[in-house]
């Protein structure tokens, strides 16, 4: 099996893997999936990931189709580097292989400009035309006309707040702080038309390639606020050369006044996703982020 054959007959890949006709080298697939580098007969490699056989439940319906749709949608913007989707099947996703490299200031600045271009490609509405996932959790992508603040509260904060309360991850103190954020979100300002965003843009979902480009992987792509992607770049230790990325982005497409005051608000979504998935280990992070978001909302009200 070579790359040309695989592109023409993607449905045959599971059979070749079952009969060990392709060399597999295990690689990191993130927190959810099992992954491998597959070496084809013509020397090309692809990155393949599957739902682990040891998982407590089967692969959610549409899980890999959603990721494939998001990757294709981001890639068609023609700005940031996004791997080609080679195979998208219900239980398997295979992508163009990207040789890893080292982070550099030059690649960061290029990425900042390219990210601005991708965001500017826009979206027809908040949400998307395909069902959503964030990690292994569903995300409501039903298209919404906005404004962004009400969509974000309804579709990206409240559902994961409810999950986090139901699983016991949050107490009344933390949930009360998030509810205050939701109640005041209309004061935040900065509403913009929907941008074409990655949606889960923490450092683990950026791949620094040996071609001196930054590649986007594992998206939760949808029409959202461009500040969401930029705020997520600072999470979990942040990405290398983040200041250079932001500066190049702002030069290519200046950010709206008050964007720094809204960073914690945008980050609150992923913090609630983590309490939904992993429980109380992220309770303090939600509390801290909610407090920072409320502080930002207060400043926005005063400045306004």
Q: Report pLDDT digits (tens) over 166-193.
A: 999 999 999 999 999 999 999 988 899 9
Largest pairwise CA distance in the chain: 66
| Neighbour count for residue 217 (Cβ, 10 Å) | 18
CA angle 20–26–29, rounded 5-degree value? 125
pTM value is 0.95
In whole angstroms, what is the distance from residue 229 CA to residue 232 CA?
Answer: 5
Instruction: Kindly report the CATH number that applies to the domain delimited by 106-303.
Output: 3.90.1200.10
Name the fold adopted by 3-96.
Phosphorylase Kinase; domain 1 (3.30.200)
What are the residue ranges spanned by the domains of the chain? 3-96, 106-303
Q: pLDDT-derived band of residue 141, with 50, 70 and 90 as boundaries?
A: very high
Give the mean pLDDT of 259-269: 97
């Amino acid at each position: 099996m070579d790359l040309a054959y695989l592109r023409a007959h993607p449905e045959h890949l599971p059979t070749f893997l079952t009969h060990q006709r392709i060399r597999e080298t295990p690689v990191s697939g993130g927190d959810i999936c099992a992954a491998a580098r597959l070496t084809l007969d013509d020397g090309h490699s692809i990155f393949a990931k599957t739902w682990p056989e040891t998982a407590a439940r089967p692969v959610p319906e549409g899980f890999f189709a959603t990721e494939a749709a998001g990757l294709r949608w981001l890639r068609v913007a023609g700005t940031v580097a996004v791997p080609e989707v080679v195979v998208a099947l219900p239980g398997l996703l295979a992508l163009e292989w990207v040789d890893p490299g080292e982070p550099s200031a030059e690649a960061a600045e290029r990425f900042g400009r390219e990210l601005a271009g991708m965001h500017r490609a826009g979206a027809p509405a908040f949400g998307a035309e395909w069902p959503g996932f964030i990690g292994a959790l569903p995300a409501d992508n039903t298209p919404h006309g906005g404004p962004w603040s009400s969509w974000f509260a309804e579709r990206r904060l409240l559902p994961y707040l409810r999950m986090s309360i139901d699983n016991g991850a949050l107490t009344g103190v933390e949930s009360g702080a998030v509810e205050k954020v939701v109640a005041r979100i209309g004061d935040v300002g900065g509403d913009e038309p929907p941008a074409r965003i990655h949606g889960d843009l923490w450092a683990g979902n950026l791949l620094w390639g040996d071609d001196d480009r930054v590649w986007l992987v594992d998206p939760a792509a949808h029409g959202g606020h461009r500040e969401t992607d930029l705020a997520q770049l600072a999470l979990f230790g942040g990405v290398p050369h983040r200041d250079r990325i932001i500066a190049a982005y702002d030069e290519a497409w200046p950010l709206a006044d008050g964007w720094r005051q809204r960073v914690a608000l945008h980050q609150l979504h992923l913090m609630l996703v983590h309490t939904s998935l992993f429980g109380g280990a992220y309770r303090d992070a939600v509390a801290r982020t909610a407090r920072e978001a409320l502080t930002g909302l207060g400043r926005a009200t005063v400045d306004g």
